[in-house]
A and B are shown apart, each in its own frame.
Chain A
Amino acid sequence: QKEVEQNSGPLSVPEGAIASLNCTYSDRGSQSFFWYRQYSGKSPELIMFIYSNGDKEDGRFTAQLNKASQYVSLLIRDSQPSDSATYLCAVHTGGGNKLTFGTGTQLKVEL
């Protein structure tokens, strides 16, 4: 079983719609969860992090965490073509500062 799983996509949504990206993880003791956006040919850019169960909102982005079900999701409201990228889920596992990344979900926002 992969430690951090994401659907590779592509996930296609029309402009203005809500994009929902999901991530599941295997380590029940994980405490910290991160979403990164990576444009083609670029490095990952931090969007949000979440530590507590529930929702965390930042502008058009909402991260949702459910530790009992071991999943974390990212909602993007009013999706724009500029949101087209690969979204990486990262989970803190074990001790120290080690983050385990999923393979990413490719999002395409279509006009």
Chain B
Amino acid sequence: ETGVTQTPRHLVMGMTNKKSLKCEQHLGHNAMYWYKQSAKKPLELMFVYNFKEQTENNSVPSRFSPECPNSSHLFLHLHTLQPEDSALYLCASSQDRTLFGEEQYFGPGTRLTVT
């Protein structure tokens, strides 16, 4: 495996379900991110982890719960979601070597549909 991988690629869940999204990066990076992409809206940053520590929570509802056990793996736990949470969820990673922003590499995304 190379780059950033995400599983599952597609997920349909009911509002009462609990599911998890998984992201793994094979780039040796130290920062990982969750983004939400909805139609006609800019990419929306949800969470940032640097060296396994959460450094950004962009006012995300508590029904989204991130977990970062190590610098290579990132999870997004989902529970009691709403239909408006249906979107493409993207994971990204970066080296985290500069204070001035650096390029991020994206995984293929998970297309989530909440019914």
Instruction: Please list the residues of chain A having a beta carbon within 8 angstroms of any beta carbon in chain B.
Output: 4, 30-32, 34, 36, 42-46, 49, 51, 88, 90-92, 95-104
Contacts and interface: CB of A to CB of B under 8 A. Distances in A.
Given A43-B90, A88-B43, A99 B101 contact: yes
B106 interface: yes
B108 A32 contact: no
Nearest to B99: A95
Given A97-B33, A99-B101, 16 more contacts: A31-B100, A34-B103, A43-B106, A43-B109, A44-B43, A45-B106, A88-B42, A88-B43, A90-B43, A92-B100, A92-B102, A96-B48, A96-B56, A99-B45, A100-B45, A103-B40
17 contacts: A30-B101, A32-B101, A36-B106, A42-B109, A43-B106, A44-B43, A45-B106, A46-B105, A88-B43, A96-B48, A96-B99, A97-B33, A97-B96, A98-B48, A99-B104, A100-B42, A102-B42
Nearest to A95: B99
B107 A43 contact: yes
Interface in B81-115: 88, 90, 94, 96, 99-109
Contact of A97 (B88, B102, B107): B102
A34 to B, nearest CB: 6
Contacts of B45: 98-100
Contact of A96 (B50, B90, B103): B50
B17 interface: no
Nearest to A93: B101
A46 B103 contact: yes
A96 B55 CA distance: 8
A48 to B, nearest CB: 9
B76 interface: no
Contacts of B90: 43-44
Contacts of B43: 44, 88, 90, 101
A18 B83 CA distance: 41
B47 to A, nearest CB: 11
Contact of B100 (A32, A88, A100, A104): A32
Contacts of A45: 106
